[in-house]
Chain A
Amino acid sequence: MSAFFGPLDSEGRVPPQQQTRVAAFLVSAHAALARRFAVALPLKMESAWQTELNGQLYSEAEIVSLLMRSTSWVPDFALAYMAAWWETCWLPAPVEGIADHSLALAVDLATLAHAIHAGIRPAALLPLKANANDPFVMALRRVEFESGRLLQAQIMFLKGEPLVPFRDAVSAALERRHAELRKVWREMLQSVGISADDQN
């Protein structure tokens, strides 16, 4: 089992089966974030930080749109079951140690977004010989690059002054989200012949 996509075809493209499953996972994860950002965003903004929420919503929508259009989709009968399982992983989870319900929900959303943006590195699956002009290859690089920038909002929030009294609770919730996400990401990759042992 390789740590990378492959074998690539003669034009350096990723096998469609791998494209389909990895893109489906990413669409599921980023669409879940888009939905939760949309619910959290008020019609009329009242705080400056909500402008960032608006940006995050549309960046997630862009990632979904990009993957939908750049992937060489093929029929994958296991996807229905797998996608249903993935969707359960994005559901809100309780954050122990934070009594304020709305703050706990915000922390939970930020931990999920942090885990997806920081822990999932789709471009790291691309072999050096992958065709840089292939739309799927370009899309994965863009998703990873944009994730690194989107992540900054979660870092600022989770490390921010208002959460200092809850630092242990926040760190525990975040480590748990990262561990859960690593597990489903690794399982999905193994299902298409990619070993994720080298990915932290």
Chain B
Amino acid sequence: MLTLTRRSLGALALAAGLAAGGAAPARAQAAGDIVLGGSIPMTGVFAFAGIGIHAGISDYVKIVNDAGGVHGRKLRYVYEDTAYKVDASVAAFNKIAAQEKPNLYYGDSTAFSKTINPELERLGSAIMAGASFATELNDPAKFPLQFMAGPDYTEMFGILLRYIANEKPNAKVAFVHSDTEFGRDPIATSARRAGELGLKVVETIVTPPGSVDVSTEVLKLRRAAPDYTIFHGYVLAPIPEFITQARQMGIASRWMGTFWSMDNSMVQQMGEMADGFMGVMPYRYYYDDEGQAPMLAKIRQMRPDYQSTAYMQGFLTAMLMTEAVKRTLDGGQELTGKNLKAALNTIRDFDTGGIIGVPISIPGNSIPVGRIYRADVQKKLMVPASDWITLE
């Protein structure tokens, strides 16, 4: 009979570990796969987005591989859960970078994108995008190997402000934002932009993170009496309570949000209060079947249930990364970060299969396109309120 002593068990474990550790790099090299790595927040405060992003990336990778890959090479998506913690994201990056040699990487936060940037440049073998639309990242000189699959937060405000200026010239606008890096991002630059468009920013309200009651903030808003109020830096709370109290006080503002507060399932949680809530969205919604949108049709076929806007973000990010790989290989070039980014920047009037309603170009680190959507509480859907707006 075989008896396992503690020592032999240890030896066995060591042997198994060596075998596993030795096998992984060999597999990556032999297959010639193109690896898309990811620090993905599958748990923690950002999990609602992370789960959608993960599904979107996975689905696009599957579509590419089912069609034979890129130049015959399979895409392989390797991710780790980060719980939306920067140290965990960095650890995941280091692990995946060492074991899998990714050419593409998805990061989960602004802080991570900034932290990892020097390492990304040092490695020089990959381009990166992620869940952050931070204005700061939209700088090809400082972040030459990164991009974002949509407008940055200042551009989102720019799109909203341009819509407002068209609808109601000289309108009074208020900004309400969370006291976080995310919340503060577009505020100063957008105040200037509003002035250029002839709009007047009558109040800027800051809410501390995690604050529950917004009564005092609503009182401030009543005093300012804006025509439009733009929320930024939130997902859901405290927007519903803010609108509820403001309506009770008789404040006649229109209410607007930016990308992360615009998912249909989140907005509809506001119930009646969502009526007329508007915001900027760079992607079309899952259920949008207007016109030609083969990719949306494909997504609905793969997943019969509603998919969030975070899903669309992950899906489009994977699509653009794949396009960069394809263009680099088409040019007979090596898959380095620099070549991939240069290939990405050659994207002009690109058809996303309907994920974005107009052809897109990526001259720098962002795609400055979006559309205003409005909540229709009867239909329980976000519906278009404007045409597509492209910033120059």
Is A bound to B? Answer: no
B: residues with CB less than 8 A from A are: none
